[in-house]
Amino acid sequence: MTRVVVITGSSSGIGAEAAVQLGRRGWTVCLLARRADELDVVAERVRAAGGTASTYPVDLTDEAATLAVSHEILAEHDHVDVLVNNAGRSIRRSIVDSLDRLHDHERVMAINYVAAVRLTHAFLPSMLERGRGHVVFSSSLSTQVPVPLFSAYLASKSALESYARSLLAELGHRGITTTVVYFPMVRTEMSGATAIYAAMPMMTAARAGAWLVKATEERPSRVTSLGGAVGQAGMSVLPGLLTKVVTPQIRRMDKRLSRKVGERD
């Protein structure tokens, strides 16, 4: 039977790389993002790799559009085996600088959390009817360790992780499974929006895409790095101590990156 995967945020970066790799492995890939022209480019890459791809331009913060595209996908492909909630946005801003910018939290939650839950709900009935389905959630290593300056982004990802745990707890016995993928910093358009990160070593989008492939095919409860797993364990046992140790190091790292970027300029 045809294996169908839906990937959001697949017009570039991690989602695009995962789509190409899954297409090469025989999956039928449904590509979702706002930018139709870029989706077409990724679809051609999937087909060139030997896979099958369909594009669905959609604004996932639009409820009516999201429901319409989910119906369209099910009408064309009959079923969805795996949903990869990869679309997202990030804001790097201190809490003090955000005191009059509650909309930072609102717009990040709208795509990172609400949109992912909405699309998951749209496909869940068909998955439950078939008695199986897998949902992947892209998250960040920064939810596993105390990282400053990303309160809106990390709050949205932490909410998504809690939802993933609830989904598995409630529907695991009915064949619904979940994976949370804790990415480190990845060289993408999103990370490139912060100038100092140009000087920071990062995971490639292709390598990050392979993590989504692992989540899709092997279906572990999480995909993470050793550092992320250790950090998460430490935050469970000694959160205050770990925060005191880690956050000064991150501040020093930001200063070093700023100097490097300045030297390059």
Rounded to two decimals, what is the model's pTM?
0.92
Confidence of residue 265 (pLDDT cuts 50, 70, 90): very low
Q: Structural domain boundaries of the chain?
A: 4-264
User: What is the per-residue pLDDT for 101?
Assistant: 96
Please tell me the predicted confidence (pLDDT) of residue 259: 73
Q: How much is the pLDDT for 1?
A: 76
- The span from the CA of 234 to the CA of 240, in Å, is 10
- Reported as a single tens digit per residue, the pLDDT across 87-141 is 999 898 989 999 999 999 999 999 999 999 999 999 999 999 999 999 999 999 9
Under CATH, domain 4-264 is a member of which superfamily? NAD(P)-binding Rossmann-like Domain (3.40.50.720)
Confidence of residue 264 (pLDDT cuts 50, 70, 90): low
User: Which is nearest to 91 in space by CA: 14, 32, 160, 156?
Assistant: 156
Task: Return the active site residues.
Answer: 153
Strand partners, 72: none
Radius of gyration of the chain (CA): 19
pLDDT score at 196:
65
